[in-house]
Amino acid sequence: MKAFYGSRFSPNQTMTPEGFLVAHNVPISRAGWYEYLASEIGADTTSGDRIVKVFRDPAEVFSPAAMASFEGKPLTDGHPPAGVTPDNASWYAKGAVQNVRRGTGEDNDLLLADLVVYDERLINEIRAGKREVSAGYECEYVPNGDGTYSQRNIVGNHVAVVESGRAGDRVRIRDQSPDDDAEAAAKRYGIAVKKDGHRSPPKGYPEDREDYADPVNYKYPLTGQHVQAAVEYYNHPGEREKGGYTPEELVVIGRRMVQRLGSGYELRDGRIITPRENKQKGADSRMKLKLPTRRHSRVTDVLAAIGLKQFAVDAEPDEIVDAVDAMAEERASAQEEPPKSNDEGGAPEDVKRIEALEQKVDALTEMLRKLVESKTSDAEKSPEEAIDEAIAQMEDPENTPPRTQDNAEEEESHTIDPSMVEDEAGPVAPPEERPQSGLTAVDTAYKIAALKAIKPIIAAIPDPVAKKKAADAAIAAIKGKPSTNTYAMIERANRQRARDQQTNKPTAQQTPDISQLGREWAKKYNPHYKERA
């Protein structure tokens, strides 16, 4: 994941502490047809400087070589009169191009990048409305045989911020100033800008407008833990009136909520009707299943008769719990009853009935437990299981799932807010004392051995959140994906444990001393490590 340090004041723009501007997800080029003058591409001009159609083939625009050629190239204020080179870069370079990649979805014909702008004048021009972008590059123009041409072997030199680019207004820095952006959103969604509305996403809430039922004012968030509160807020008439919405605007917001929330939700009489309300209404219109609760009502037999699976599908979780409790009570009461002897002197007549009942209760209880578990989401893997899985993948790489669009590492850049960074970064040794990792140059066996060695240390961390972070960091570091400092994560958890002990807070278990962990690992697993005096 690419990340920039600063304050993200709009979905696609970040300001760094120094005042540099980061423009995220900027289209710098697109595939498709363009119009050039014949003289611009070196075509035959004997019949005049006519307009020539030129095709940018997606296979050329998004080739690994073409995309790599733009990575790290200078950002300029307009196109310079010549290509940017070390001789003139101090004159023309106003920033840098980073994280070049192909867009997805409706942007799949666009070449995207993040632009870091260093120059104050260009930053002010961008904020004042200079937004379109044009790529500067070299290529070959190959005739197609019908009077048109195609570009081949594209090699980037720079990316320019311009007033008007050849690729059109889709190839531009996204987001305007917060107020201008809100007015544009108001026209798009049919909701007016409100005086008390937000001009940018509130801290801790979604950054994308589409994740709000009111995307203009960043209200009614529709992701994660915010959804239920948004529904309750919408359903409270007094709160909605405080927002100053018209009836038409409330219908737009309600429809967006229902569309995002999915099946089971509907907009009815100005309220969002939840699946539970719909289910309750349906239950009120038919005879609701009532579990018998009297001592001899045989709950077990009733469940067996109606079909346990059907009952579990229709019942709420608390109803399932009640059924299990009822079966347990029935079993206890049956055991407490004195057995009745039959007249023929054989075994008590209730003994067989009680034994059969116990077997049914045990079987049905186990089935209900599994059905309840199936209604809840799968728990996340424990840190120890995650480490075991990483080891298994390295031991048998052929069974590792292939990289797909769904599991590929997210390429869009993010912003790390300075206010969210912890003060303690963990112990950092001087450069000359840091052990030199041999993992990048040695066999996979060393990585596996390192993960096995760190597993018991991470398992000893009492705080489950710190334990998970440490495990994730260890796996990422050893597999070659830089992440949070593993040593710092473990050391921070260790210091927290010490503070807890000082305040007599109980801990799950003792954490081993890891102050020399780095040296011990280096000695054990790094063949290049040398002991220093």
Amino acid at 423: D
> What are the tens digits of pLDDT across the range 165-193?
888 778 999 876 555 567 777 888 889 88
Report the C-alpha gap between 533 and 531 in whole angstroms: 7
> Is pLDDT at 13 greater than 70 in this prediction?
yes
Task: Give percent of the chain above pLDDT 90.
Answer: 22
pLDDT confidence bin for 408, thresholds 50/70/90: very low
3-state secondary structure 15-71: ECCCCCEEEEEEEEEECEEEEEEHHHCCCCCCCCCCEEEEEECHHHHCCHHHHHHHC
**Residue reference for tokens 């950002």:** 75
Phi, psi (degrees; rounded to nearest 5) at 30: -140, 155
The model's pLDDT over 109-139, given as tens digits with 9 standing for 90+, comes to: 999 999 999 999 999 999 888 889 999 999 9
pLDDT reported for residue 242: 76
Asked whether the predicted pLDDT for residue 60 surpasses 90, the reply is yes
Query: Residue 216 pLDDT > 70, yes or no?
Result: yes
Amino acid identity, residue 533? A
* Predicted local distance difference test score (pLDDT) of residue 140: 93
Question: Considering the chain, what is the average pLDDT of its residues?
Answer: 75
CA gap 89, 86 in Å, rounded: 5
Please report, for residues 177, 310, 316, the alpha-carbon distance to residue 286 in angstroms, rounded to integers and kept in the order given: 56, 16, 16
Q: Phi, psi at residue 329, to the nearest 5°?
A: -65, -40
Q: What is the CA radius of gyration of the chain?
A: 33
